[in-house]
């Protein structure tokens, strides 16, 4: 495939910046770079443009550096909140990607950031907070804090639902009623209060007086 040298007049990611001399496929230069105004052919006349292109490039890079430096300071203070769907067990459906984080930065903070500047070691698949590395510039890095929350409502535990003054009042009333039922059952099973379990003692008998002969009472004269 035939190659041709061109002078880039705009920054092209993966190819070069302003004033760079690069070799590209002739068809790519003819059908894309030249019509889009991204490069010009390498000629004696165009070589004189290289110095002005280098100056413009230096100004652009200085502006980008200053802008990204200020952005890194702002981003380090932010928390991007992403809401995802989860199952009853708290596990996420799918994962959070660099593109989703870039969209959230735009929506939440009106920050436009190329997702390629967001470096994830692997997609986020767990809830909670995560520190994400950003490569804002060749010389500027930053860390963004991302909080992943679930949109699935979680039913509170029974004890939590019964917490609070009203819940305690209901619990106290229930316990009091339960104790009352138990006490009534014990009263029905036991003997009435005040009843003596032991048999009543018989009164002591008085000794009989001795009788005389033939049944006469003692001390009675003939």
pLDDT in tens, 4-29: 999 998 888 889 888 889 999 999 99
**Neighbour count for residue 12 (Cβ, 10 Å):** 17
pLDDT of residue 97: 93
148-193, pLDDT tens digit by residue? 999 887 655 555 555 555 555 565 666 666 665 555 555 555 555 5
pLDDT of residue 176: 63
Q: Residue 6: enclosing H or E segment and its boundaries?
A: strand 3-8
pLDDT of residue 222: 39
The pTM (predicted TM-score) of the whole model is 0.56
Domain 3-72 adopts which CATH fold?
Ribosomal Protein L9; domain 1 (3.40.5)
Sheet with 128-137, edge to edge strand ranges: 79-84, 140-150, 128-137, 118-119
pLDDT of residue 23: 92
Under a CB-based contact definition with an 8 Å cutoff, are residues 86 and 127 in contact? yes
Question: Where do the domains of the chain lie?
Answer: 3-72, 73-150, 158-189
| Partners of residue 130 on adjacent β-strands | 146
What is the arithmetic mean of pLDDT over 132-153? 91
Q: Write the CA distances from 2 to 15, 21, 25, 38, 44, integer angstroms.
A: 18, 16, 6, 19, 21
Per-residue confidence band for 89, with pLDDT thresholds at 50, 70 and 90: confident
User: Quick one: how many helices (H) and strands (E) in the chain?
Assistant: 6, 7
- Which is nearest to 98 in space by CA: 77, 84, 114, 78? 114
Q: Chain-wide mean pLDDT for the chain?
A: 79
pLDDT of residue 220: 47
What is the arithmetic mean of pLDDT over 98-108? 94
Local structure of 40: helix, strand or coil: strand
Which CATH superfamily does the domain covering 73-150 fall into? Ribosomal protein L9, C-terminal domain (3.10.430.100)
- The CA angle 103-104-106, to the nearest 5 degrees, is 65
Q: Show the tokens assigned to 113.
A: 């950031």
In a 10 Å sphere around its CB, with 0-12 CB exposed, 13-18 middle and 19+ buried, how is residue 143 labelled?
A: exposed
pLDDT of residue 54: 87
60-77, pLDDT tens digit by residue? 889 999 999 999 999 999
């Amino acid at each position: 495939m035939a190659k041709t040298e061109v002078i880039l007049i705009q920054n092209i990611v993966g190819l070069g910046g302003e004033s760079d001399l690069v070799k590209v496929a002739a068809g790519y230069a003819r059908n894309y770079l030249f019509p889009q105004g991204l490069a010009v052919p390498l000629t004696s006349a165009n070589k004189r443009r290289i110095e002005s292109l280098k100056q413009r490039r230096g100004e652009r890079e200085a502006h980008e550096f200053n802008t990204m430096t200020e952005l890194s300071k702002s981003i380090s203070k932010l928390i991007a909140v992403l809401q995802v769907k989860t199952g009853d067990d708290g596990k996420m459906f799918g994962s959070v990607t660099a593109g989703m984080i870039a969209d959230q930065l735009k929506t939440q903070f009106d920050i436009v950031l190329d997702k390629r500047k967001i470096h994830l070691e692997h997609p986020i698949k767990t809830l909670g907070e995560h520190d994400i590395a950003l490569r804002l510039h060749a010389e500027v890095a930053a860390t963004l804090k991302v909080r992943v929350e679930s949109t699935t409502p979680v039913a509170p535990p029974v004890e939590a639902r019964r917490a609070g003054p009203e819940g305690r009042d209901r619990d106290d009333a229930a316990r009091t009623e339960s104790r009352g039922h138990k006490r009534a059952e014990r009263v029905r099973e036991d003997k009435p209060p005040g009843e003596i379990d032991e048999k009543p003692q018989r009164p002591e008998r008085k000794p009989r007086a001795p009788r005389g002969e033939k049944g006469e009472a003692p001390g009675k004269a003939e």
